[in-house]
Amino acid sequence: MTYLFIPQAGDREAIDIRLSALSTASKAALIATYNKTQKTGIVGVRAQIHGILALHYRFNAVFGTSPISIKDQFEVSLQNPIVALGDHWAFEISN
């Protein structure tokens, strides 16, 4: 699931609003939000990508890493579902 994000006017403000909403989210809530988004997939709605980018920034701030991949500053991808692993997260292992 990849989205080609081409920045436009107003994106930073929209991302900041979503980032502010995530500022008090617990680690478990961040993981649940990521998994819900990953299950839905990227549907191509710009507002969704703002939320995904905010989630990426929040994961980096809280965990030091993010399950959301951003390649060359423009390709935004969701990876596999994740699970809590102690005080961190890990990709869920499929059987």
- The residues of the chain scoring below 70 in pLDDT are 95
Domain total of the chain: 1
Q: Which residue has the tokens 């423009």?
A: 74
Q: What pLDDT is recorded for position 86?
A: 92
pLDDT score at 95: 62
- For 57, residues 6+ apart whose C-beta sits below 8 A from its C-beta are 15, 19, 66
Range of the domain at 19: 2-91
Neighbours of 15 (CB within 10 A): 20
Q: How far apart are CA 14 and CA 9, in angstroms?
A: 10
